[in-house]
A and B are shown apart, each in its own frame.
Chain A
Amino acid sequence: MRKVAILIPLTGLIFLVGCYWGRRAETTQPPVSIALTPSGTLVTGGQSITVTANVFDPSNQGATWTFSPLNFGALSNLTTTSVTYTAPLGFTKPTTVTITATSITNPLIASSVQISVSPIIVGLTPPAPQTVSQGGQAIFAVSVANYMTNPGVTWSLTPASGAGSLIDATPTVGATYVAPATVSAPVVVTLTATSIENAAATASLEITVLPSGGGPNVAIVNVDGGPVPGQTYANGAFTTVTICNPGSTTVCQTVDGILVDTGSYGLRILQSEIPFLKITPFVDGNGNTLENCASSPDGSYLWGPVAPFDIYVAGEVASSSLAQVITSSNIVVPDSCSNGGTTNQNTPQLLGANGILGIGPEPTDCTVAGVNYCDGSAQLTPPNLYYTCPSIGCATTDSSIVVADNMQVTNPVPSLLQVINNTSDNNGAILELPAVSGAQAAVTGTLIFGIGTETNNQLGSATVFTLDSSDNFTTVFNGQNLTSSFIDSGSNAIYFPGELPTCADNPQYYCPTSLTSLSAMNEGATQGENTVSFSVDNADNLFSSDASDAAFDTLAGPQGTYNSCSPGSSSSCTFDWGLPFFYGRSVYAAIDGQSISGAPTTPWWAY
């Protein structure tokens, strides 16, 4: 590559010198030069292309041919003026091949063309991990991009026997997975479609067979310490999403380690986790992109462009849903987002996750109780959420802007449709985790889309708690009337103003001398009342007993100051029901603006 880069300018220089000489002495021989055609061509695996050299050479000797990367495909039909390049089979990443012609008369003269070689890509639809109940079925379509002659696939299951079977499997249309008639515990099977033309091109996904409650609206959730090796994320519920370029079923990336967060709205995905996707943010004629800032109360933020993707989760898709792509590089961020010094959590290590799936009770990240603060409808001062920045990045002094609601980072749930039949499971979601006894390494639960839309997401006997204009309800605890309380799967623990001592080693948590049983009463804004019993254990002991533990039922910490909430207070009036509250419960989040048959007006929580 370096050699080519040096030689091309040399060619130009000699040509210029030649012109000069030519004017002075018309008898001077023309210099040697080479022009190649075509350039910038796109070929797929196994496909051939002929490159032709126009060699301006008085001695008419022509050129020799080389290409790189080494052994990526082959050259044939070599002559002094043309060559045929054939792309290889059996590769999986888009590759740029450089073909170089070198003058035989003057080996210092060379010219190159670049050929883009695309692999065969197999895509399954839906592409994300699925669940199915015992005896149930799941239908998949297949598409193959960039094939030469054979658009077909073969289908397989791993393990091949004992974990269900395939019916109606065809090479070019799809296949139906049939689960075992009975399973006593979740069984995981991998479905794979393999290109007949190129066995290296495959698409696969995991199907989890559940004893009951599975289906296209159900995704698996793991509380397992998170996706970062060597780092244990306590009480984080993680799922897997597949993100595709809008309209594509083959240009997709499946990303695990996505934190399920009922305390925020919208998908926020680290740029580093979707390198093969084409990110198409809103861009104006001056090249300015629409950027989003998501601030957290812990003194951190997330920064990056707003871009549409087809977001697949379980058997559902939110098409052209606007997500935040968290910029991986440490670019300049406006001070009004960063506060001039807080932390951008733009790596898996800093975030503890590969992304955040915000599925709380609001439709976009700038709405609360029907008021959109960013679109200019309620008031004209834009809060620090949206910015437009030139391609070189923002300036620290850039101001936030007003943005229409259909350009804001969007909770994908209201857009969800089942891939196989376009059924809407879009009015809310249910996060269901098994009970945890003290501390465990991992537990597996489910994220169920829709409320009352399927047999597996009925409200049943759950109590509905309506919300105030800040999406809060009241928790009465130990004589305190905590009027700004909420449920948040994205909080690592239960946080409340209590009398328990904080820990010596982990002062963000409580450390009672022994397991302490407590209770609190939740009261909805206009309806809903329920007493919750919970226990708090010594967090220093919990964290030190087994480093691999990630699920803690009894982890709690201080929020504000005990007995300091009074009417009109800003702080110390909150009971934050974090992830431990979800253990052993099904918790429903109904989204503002959606309707649920037979239930109160949204938004609300239910459990």
Chain B
Amino acid sequence: MKLYKHGLNAALIRGLSIALVTTLGLPFSAFATLGGSLDSVQADQAHLKANIKTTEGGAYTVHELRTPTDIVVREYVSPGGRVFGIAWRGPFIPDMQQLLGSYFRQYVLAAKAERERHVGRAPLSIQQEGLVVQTGGHMRAYFGRAYDPELLPAGASPDDVR
């Protein structure tokens, strides 16, 4: 490690050392993806070493993951083993590409189109065939949810993804 300017070297060096340890030991971003399989949720459990809570219901199963940075992600899995919805909240925005998977591009284009229509800062509300995304919040308190209406299993409603 080399010294840093501004007389704050020790702090950053300590920080860098911690960062090195944690990034090797605890991969951060590994969620199941919307439309993905149950296997990806189970793989995440071991991967994240996160506090995981699984709630089985008649219509679907909810897997709740809490990351070390206090992001809570709920993954909704149909009886057929597919992730049909994801909800999150916490001080940071989770990796949307990880969460949305093959839906990520559709999300990016819709968000871009909305910002081009109205410059400014606003929550996001994407209502498209095959993808609903609602996000909002303020710095250090974000939330959102995404689901594919076409993947909702029998007995589940959009409001269940929460």
Q: Are A352's CB and B96's CB within 8 A?
A: no
A residues 471-516 near B (Cβ < 8 Å) are 471-472, 484, 486, 488, 490-493, 495, 506-508
Contact of A571 with B143 at beta-carbon distance under 8 Å, contacts A342-B111, A379-B69 already known: yes
Given the contacts A283-B5, A297-B144, A362-B140, A561 and B123 also touching, CB distance less than 8 Å: no
Q: Does B89 contact A (CB under 8 A)?
A: yes
A559-B124 Cα distance, complex, nearest whole Å: 8
A472 contacts which chain B residues (CB < 8 A)? 141
Is B54 positioned at the interface, with any CB of A under 8 Å from its CB?
Answer: no
**Residue on B with the closest CB to A487?**
B138
Check A236 for interface membership: any CB of B closer than 8 A: yes
Q: Is the interface of B mostly helix, strand, loop or mixed?
A: mixed
Closest Cβ–Cβ distance, residue A383 to chain B (whole Å): 4
The answer on a CB contact under 8 Å between A492 and B118 is yes
CB nearest neighbor in B for A236: B120
- The reply on A534 being an interface residue by CB < 8 A is no
Kindly state whether residue A213 has any CB partner on chain B within 8 Å: no
B162 touches A566 (CB 8 A): yes
Find residues 530-584 in chain A having any chain B CB closer than 8 Å to their own CB.
557-561, 564-566, 568-574, 576, 578
CA separation between A369 and B38, bound complex, in Å? 35
Residue numbers in B under 8 Å from A282 (CB-CB): 4-6, 8, 12
Q: Is the CB of B2 within 8 A of A285?
A: yes
- In the complex, are the beta carbons of A362 and B19 less than 8 A apart? no
Contact: A403 with B88, CB < 8 Å? Answer: no
Cβ-Cβ contact count across A and B, 8 Å cutoff: 257
Residues of A that sit less than 8 Å from B by CB: 226, 228, 231-236, 259, 261, 263-265, 280, 282-286, 290, 294-300, 308, 335-336, 339-343, 349-352, 358, 360, 362, 365-368, 373, 375-376, 379-385, 388, 399-404, 406-407, 470-472, 484, 486, 488, 490-493, 495, 506-508, 557-561, 564-566, 568-574, 576, 578
Selected from B69, B91, B141, B158, the residue in CB contact (under 8 A) with A484 is B141
Q: Quick check: B97 and A340 within 8 Å, CB to CB?
A: yes
A470: nearest residue on chain B (CB-CB)?
B141
B137 touching A285 by the CB < 8 A rule?
Answer: no
Of B93, B120, B136, the residue contacting A352 (CB under 8 A) is B120
From residue B152, how far is it (CB to closest CB) to chain A in Å? 14
Most buried by B among A226, A231, A402, A578: A402
**Are B95 and A407 in contact, CB atoms less than 8 angstroms apart?**
no
Given A373-B91, A380-B18, also A404-B12 (CB < 8 A): yes
| Shortest Cβ gap from A542 to chain B (Å) | 12
Q: When the two chains form their complex, are residues B69 and A508 in contact, meaning their CB atoms are under 8 A apart?
A: no
Contact in complex: A299, B96 (CB < 8 Å): yes
Which residue of the partner chain A has the closest CB to B19? Answer: A401
Q: A375-B15, A380-B22, A404-B12 are in contact. Are A506 and B96 (CB under 8 A)?
A: no
Q: How far is the CB of B113 from chain A (nearest CB, A)?
A: 11
Interface bits B88-120 vs A (CB < 8 Å: 1, else 0)? 110111011100000011011001101101111
